[in-house]
Structure 1
Amino acid sequence: MDRVVTPATDATTPPSNPPEERRRSAGERTGTGRPYPATTVCGLFAGRAAMQPGATALIFQDQRITYGELDARANRLANHLVARLPCAGELVGICLERSPELVVALLAVLKADGAYTMLDPDFPARRLSQVLTAAGSTLVITSSALTGLVRGTGARLLVLDRQAAAIAAGAPVEPRAAADGEDLACVMFTSGSTGRPKGVASPHRAIVATLANQTYVDFSDREVVLQCSPVSWDAFALELFGALLFGGTCVLQPGRRPDPPAINELVRAHRVSTLHLSASLLNFMLDAYPGTFTGVRQLMTGGEPASLAHVAKALREYPGIRLVNGYSPVENMIFTLCHTVTADDLAATSIPVGKPIAHKGIRVLDHRLDPVPDGVTAELYMTGAGLAHGYLNEPGLTAQRFLPDPFGAPGDRMYRTGDLVRRRPDGVVEFLGRADDQVKIRGFRIEPGEVETAIGRHPAVRRAAVIAREDRPGDKRLVAYVVPVEGAKFTTGELRRYLLASLPDHLVPAAIVAMETLPLTANGKLDRAALPAPVRPARPRRPRT
């Protein structure tokens, strides 16, 4: 789509013909494997539906939906879109509860040559309005129960339950598609340092290449996969398409957020064999629900550094399980690096994030964009077929983060992650932290600047600073330090309610500390080390991701 601008070479770009040894040094760090199919997400799904129409595609509560049924329902809605609400080349918002209807809507948008952005019903209406404005979406697919969240955005609404009869009367045949692998498939919005969300625009190619012909886990028609991650995450695509593009069965967890009791019940009841959980949620499940993973063959985790103690527990209690620690920012779709954890890893100080998966590569470069030797800490850059086009309607930001790849072919790009890593002599990568202020909490990527901007809009707030604290090992929390306007008063409860009206729950600080002034260093910068721990930390919340 023409709304995404590919970055141009700027004055900081290194020479296009680096010495051969620099090229070879950087080029070695690329995953190998069979080529990925040159097709679209909906093309792969349609092929599977034709191959095994009677196989179970979705399980939701007491419903079992076959591939043939799911494909026909998606085709009917796609033809309805093509005839009445054309979305070819458009970005369509989907605001639905986790359900078969959500999956039908997503597939239908792709079949109609559109792209989707998931509008999480758990987010406040103001946040969804921001996302739709940034996306430029003119159409939202929703239900009667959720129209209040999106009614005031100016977008056209397709309310599924109100138009059910007209949709059901449509033809169940595949509409004629013109999209290819480079066309936009989805836009996922993440926290933005400017105070507004930024949309990562990913093509079909990124999803297909990340899942097809991979070896980090086995995606096949033998697998039963649980879908429990928030729908606005790229992990949603992993859990849904990791089943539906390969003939497996996807079990949909009811509810908007991962629910540990439900996960425990569904994994056991449906014999889930492949499971993805954020690191925090995995830790909680191992502690609170022993026996959950007895029948699980493949367990993927990521989003945060893995806990050595909990990884050791998983290997000890479930010796037959394949435990994979994965890592990637959403700009390179789901996973870029993966590592199958073994007992040998438990002797280290942290669990590594591994080597590049097939169809993706990495560069570990210094500030001059020169490769560094093994064992040296430097910034991680990512390459390969999983890369997004860039940030939707943000050409300047796209140019800053998606750079020409000096070690690749003409036109190749690399994504600057802002993450610091170290590569071992065996090629395995260890994650060491961020090179900027961005943090990850409960698997969510957070720009503290966005939270500070939101707090600063409150009329009683003069200045705010937001940091991540880990006052207890393994319990990382977002804490806000707030200086009020002279003479103004507010309660932390009032400020929290104010933030919940515009921010998702994961961006609302767990503790808010009122201060007369913020401590500064000798050169006038915020003295983070001098910020006090909250006197009365918020009661620990059960992990939701």
Structure 2
Amino acid sequence: MTPDTVQHTRHLTRAWKLLTGAATAVGGSPAAVLHAAMRVLLARTSGDEEISLAVRPGPDGRPYTERWSYDGATTVRALVRADPPLGHPDAGADGSSRPLPTWCVGPVCGAGDADRFPVQIEADPVRGCRIHLDGGRYDEREADRFADRLDTLLHAVAADPDTPVARLPLLGDAERSHLLALAGDGLADRGGVRLSALILAQCRLTPDAVAVRDHHESLTYRDLRERAEALAATLRRHGVVPDSAVAVAAERSAALVVALVAVLLADGAYLPLDTSWPAARIRHVAAEAAPVLVLCDEPYTALMAECFDAPVLPLSGGTGTDRVSGGFPATNDGEPGAVPAASDRDTAYIIYTSGSTGWPKGVAVPHRGIVNRLLWMQEQYGLTPEDVVLQKTPYTFDVSVWEFFWPLIAGASVMMARPDGHRDPGYLVDLVREAGVTTLHCVPSMLGLLVEEPGLGACTGLRRVFASGEALSPSLANRFHQLHPAELHNLYGPTEASIDVTHWTCAQVEPGPTVPIGHPIVGVRALVLDPADDLAPFGSPGELHLGGVCLARGYVGRPDLTGRQFIPNRFSGGSGDVLYRTGDLVRWNPAGHLEYLGRIDHQVKLRGLRVEPAEIEAAAAEQPDVVSAVVLLRDDLPGGAKLVLYVVPADGAELDADGLRARLAARLPEYMVPSCTVVLPELPLTANGKCDRKALPVPARRPAGDRGDRRRRTRR
């Protein structure tokens, strides 16, 4: 700091006593204890495993730079014993009350000019500890937090210098209370209502309004109710009761909406199937989810009959390949029988998403989660009977759920895009304009294509656009607002938490380096936790943990995986017994908004589709000619981001890359089959023996016309 720099000064009156007490306990000096504490504070709040500190020990000391590798298992005692006390071996080394010279510390800035250091600290037995912070880097609120954290840390070190530094508390009461308030309480009383009841209520309220239309037919709410109730009766006769899974294999159409509503009216849970999945993947889902029957479009009857032991019926519920006779559970349409009572905790739908074990995992979402999500959306954005919502997201992805059902509980209309139409930005712009669509969802990669379409500005009826599934960049948000006056909302959420859990309304100009994901919705608790599972300070990265009524019930047939991802909630406060570990790295920015930073693992999003590289790696490693495999999403290849598979062949094996790709395609959905394969004699390793993903080579450029260039685009 220079003499004319604005400074924020904070006093820690008890710090000197704490420093000398800790110094005596560890056999070091107050200077060394303070140095160690600052290392821990800056490393913990930055989230970096390696930090570079610039230090000036005293007003006349020579500035120097040190690099320190953070180890959460070490202790302040170990740090003090390992390092000299800042070049002042006589500065209180005996634990006496001699004052410490003013010294400076902070991230490296400039060429070691001490006057530019953002933090200066003085300590003596009379005035305690005084912290001077650069006003250009810290505002008043951040200065208060910095001082509170150092004070809390010094208290903890004095109490027990042998506590691992990762578990030393940083947060004062004020910051902790503020973080918990921002996280939300996770509570929402929706009266125990089920989604099916909300839809029926709307059908009775506006029977003659258009509920859903596709390119071939238009159904009023009366039509929807009559057809769905007739099909629901058929489903009950086939044994559908609360929590029964009903698989659905169909193209996008008005008839699909009827089928989904019918499953809900029958108290079942619908299980959408992607008919382009390999048969092996469908059989895995069939064995794990065990649906009581399958509804499908006629072209898929043979495939479904091959993969399922359950009855296979046409989407309309007519005569199908019913191979089950007798022994059905009692129906719940008035006949006697021990049918479980329906509850808002019953499963409403099951969506399979990429898993890390080599096979996908099924997420079971209860009625109370999706009802809360849809009612919040209506309270927040308020559809009217004049609104038209475009349904274009494939129904195997959870965004489709609000596209189907939000308009149906609000008296609005659903416009069904043609099958595969979600991949064609030109068609989508034309449909939005011609059908009078007012509400649209796009993953940012598709939004980037839409803003390049010349007809977007002519979509004058478009009022609101929702973006989710990928990080939304400020440049794309600002580009959209330059071209169209519609609201743009950035939503975030995993499948395991009823679609979306945070929301942000984009400004006309988003000024920051990122677009925030915003704040928790009603019924969500969003806690940012550090590696020690404590609250991460403001501005510090941490893993997002979710609680509240939004949570899924877990993974179908996978209690082991459910137990690992849905963990006990020690911050309960009435918000539920468990928290879901998202694996997403986020932070609360100084203004109190959540920002998405990335992943703590290798999960990626490819054109809005969730991909666990470990699932692909496991499938490849099971092949007899492969010893090890690593998958990387590379964005430095021609044509945009692509999955690249790196494999080490078994000894003596002649690995055929095209043959390996074909074997993977028999198990994985198309979007998860790597675009190209790189064969390596061995994988590059880091010092600790893990694969060094940063050292994996860029694939050699393949000739035009290969599979990487021919791949079908899949966007939600």
Does residue 117 (structure 1) correspond to residue 293 (structure 2)? The answer is no
1:308 aligned residue: 474
Does residue 544 (structure 1) correspond to residue 715 (structure 2)? The answer is yes
> Would the aligned equivalents of 1:129 and 1:150 in 2 still touch at CA under 8 Å?
no
* Amino acid in structure 1 at the alignment position of 2:683: L
Q: Secondary structure at the match of 2:592?
A: coil
Q: In 2, distance between residues paired with 1:353 and 1:391?
A: 26
Q: Secondary structure at the match of 2:403?
A: helix
2:414 aligned residue: 250
* Amino acid in structure 2 at the alignment position of 1:544: R
Q: In 2, distance between residues paired with 1:243 and 1:286?
A: 25
Q: After superposing the two structures, state which structure 1 stretch, 122-131 or 492-501, moved more.
A: 492-501
Q: In 2, distance between residues paired with 1:476 and 1:209?
A: 35
1:454 aligned residue: 619
> Would the aligned equivalents of 1:336 and 1:357 in 2 still touch at CA under 8 Å?
yes
Deviations 1:336-382 (A, max 9, x none): 1111111342x211111111112222111112322222111111111
* Amino acid in structure 1 at the alignment position of 2:554: G
Q: After superposing the two structures, state which structure 1 stretch, 251-260 or 59-68, moved more.
A: 251-260
Q: Secondary structure at the match of 1:98?
A: coil
* Amino acid in structure 1 at the alignment position of 2:489: V
1:77 aligned residue: 231
> Would the aligned equivalents of 1:284 and 1:543 in 2 still touch at CA under 8 Å?
no
Q: In 2, distance between residues paired with 1:445 and 1:191?
A: 6
2:327 aligned residue: none
Q: In 2, distance between residues paired with 1:39 and 1:138?
A: 24
1:7 aligned residue: none
Q: Secondary structure at the match of 1:164?
A: coil
1:206 aligned residue: 369
1:298 aligned residue: 464
> Would the aligned equivalents of 1:483 and 1:516 in 2 still touch at CA under 8 Å?
yes
Highest RCO, 1 vs 2 (Cα 8 Å, sep ≥ 6): 1
Q: In 2, distance between residues paired with 1:47 and 1:380?
A: 36
Deviation at 1:256, TM superposition (A): 4.3
Q: Secondary structure at the match of 1:426?
A: coil
Does residue 188 (structure 1) correspond to residue 342 (structure 2)? The answer is no
Deviations 1:260-307 (A, max 9, x none): 233122211111000001111111121245426443111001111113
* Amino acid in structure 1 at the alignment position of 2:370: I
Deviations 1:477-535 (A, max 9, x none): 21111222334334433332222221111211122212222222233211112111111
2:203 aligned residue: 49
* Amino acid in structure 1 at the alignment position of 2:226: A
1:152 aligned residue: 306
Q: Secondary structure at the match of 2:394?
A: coil
Assess, with a 3 A threshold, how the Cα gap between structure 1 residues 190 and 441 changes in structure 2: closer, same or farther. Answer: same
Assess, with a 3 A threshold, how the Cα gap between structure 1 residues 205 and 156 changes in structure 2: closer, same or farther. Answer: same
Aligned residues: 520
Q: In 1, distance between residues paired with 2:616 and 2:641?
A: 16
1:10 aligned residue: none
Assess, with a 3 A threshold, how the Cα gap between structure 1 residues 230 and 512 changes in structure 2: closer, same or farther. Answer: same
2:566 aligned residue: 402
Q: Secondary structure at the match of 1:28?
A: helix
2:257 aligned residue: 103
Q: After superposing the two structures, state which structure 1 stretch, 446-455 or 302-311, moved more.
A: 302-311
Q: In 2, distance between residues paired with 1:385 and 1:86?
A: 25
2:531 aligned residue: 367
Within-5 A mapping of 1:85-100 = 85-100=239-254
Q: After superposing the two structures, state which structure 1 stretch, 451-460 or 54-63, moved more.
A: 451-460
Within-5 A mapping of 1:9-48 = 22=176, 25-30=179-184, 35-36=189-190, 38-48=192-202
TM-score of the superposed pair, with normalisation by structure 2: 0.68
2:137 aligned residue: none
Q: After superposing the two structures, state which structure 1 stretch, 239-248 or 19-28, moved more.
A: 19-28
* Amino acid in structure 2 at the alignment position of 1:443: G
Assess, with a 3 A threshold, how the Cα gap between structure 1 residues 37 and 213 changes in structure 2: closer, same or farther. Answer: farther
> Would the aligned equivalents of 2:633 and 2:644 in 1 still touch at CA under 8 Å?
yes
> Would the aligned equivalents of 1:23 and 1:407 in 2 still touch at CA under 8 Å?
no
1:483 aligned residue: 648
Assess, with a 3 A threshold, how the Cα gap between structure 1 residues 434 and 162 changes in structure 2: closer, same or farther. Answer: closer
2:51 aligned residue: none
Assess, with a 3 A threshold, how the Cα gap between structure 1 residues 265 and 491 changes in structure 2: closer, same or farther. Answer: farther
Deviations 1:431-468 (A, max 9, x none): 00111121211111111110011122333323211112
Does residue 143 (structure 1) correspond to residue 297 (structure 2)? The answer is yes
Q: In 2, distance between residues paired with 1:402 and 1:273?
A: 37
Assess, with a 3 A threshold, how the Cα gap between structure 1 residues 185 and 162 changes in structure 2: closer, same or farther. Answer: closer
> Would the aligned equivalents of 2:263 and 2:270 in 1 still touch at CA under 8 Å?
yes
* Amino acid in structure 1 at the alignment position of 2:312: L
* Amino acid in structure 1 at the alignment position of 2:526: I
Within-5 A mapping of 1:527-542 = 527-536=692-701, 538-539=708-709, 542=713
TM-score of the superposed pair, with normalisation by structure 1: 0.89
Q: In 1, distance between residues paired with 2:376 and 2:562?
A: 29
2:342 aligned residue: 179
Q: In 2, distance between residues paired with 1:185 and 1:162?
A: 20
Q: In 1, distance between residues paired with 2:302 and 2:216?
A: 28
Deviation at 1:161, TM superposition (A): 6.4
Q: Secondary structure at the match of 2:451?
A: helix
Identity of aligned residues (%): 36
> Would the aligned equivalents of 2:186 and 2:549 in 1 still touch at CA under 8 Å?
no
2:15 aligned residue: none
Assess, with a 3 A threshold, how the Cα gap between structure 1 residues 473 and 51 changes in structure 2: closer, same or farther. Answer: farther
Assess, with a 3 A threshold, how the Cα gap between structure 1 residues 452 and 34 changes in structure 2: closer, same or farther. Answer: closer
Q: Which runs of 5+ in 1 are unaligned?
A: 1-13, 167-173
* Amino acid in structure 1 at the alignment position of 2:313: V
Deviation at 1:420, TM superposition (A): 1.0
Q: Secondary structure at the match of 2:461?
A: coil
Does residue 496 (structure 1) correspond to residue 670 (structure 2)? The answer is no
* Amino acid in structure 2 at the alignment position of 1:425: P
Q: After superposing the two structures, state which structure 1 stretch, 231-240 or 89-98, moved more.
A: 89-98
Does residue 223 (structure 1) correspond to residue 387 (structure 2)? The answer is yes
Q: In 2, distance between residues paired with 1:57 and 1:361?
A: 33
Q: In 2, distance between residues paired with 1:65 and 1:516?
A: 60
Q: Secondary structure at the match of 1:475?
A: coil
Larger Rg belongs to? 2
Q: In 2, distance between residues paired with 1:84 and 1:522?
A: 59
* Amino acid in structure 2 at the alignment position of 1:208: V
> Would the aligned equivalents of 1:190 and 1:197 in 2 still touch at CA under 8 Å?
yes
* Amino acid in structure 2 at the alignment position of 1:381: H
* Amino acid in structure 2 at the alignment position of 1:433: G
Assess, with a 3 A threshold, how the Cα gap between structure 1 residues 183 and 103 changes in structure 2: closer, same or farther. Answer: same
Q: Secondary structure at the match of 1:200?
A: strand
Q: Secondary structure at the match of 1:258?
A: helix
Q: In 1, distance between residues paired with 2:239 and 2:454?
A: 46
Q: In 2, distance between residues paired with 1:94 and 1:43?
A: 21
Deviation at 1:83, TM superposition (A): 2.3
Q: In 2, distance between residues paired with 1:377 and 1:42?
A: 40
2:79 aligned residue: none
* Amino acid in structure 2 at the alignment position of 1:126: A
Does residue 164 (structure 1) correspond to residue 329 (structure 2)? The answer is no
Deviation at 1:31, TM superposition (A): 7.7
Q: After superposing the two structures, state which structure 1 stretch, 331-340 or 362-371, moved more.
A: 362-371
Assess, with a 3 A threshold, how the Cα gap between structure 1 residues 307 and 287 changes in structure 2: closer, same or farther. Answer: farther
Deviations 1:298-347 (A, max 9, x none): 100111111332221101111x21100111111111111111111342x2
2:160 aligned residue: none
* Amino acid in structure 2 at the alignment position of 1:423: W
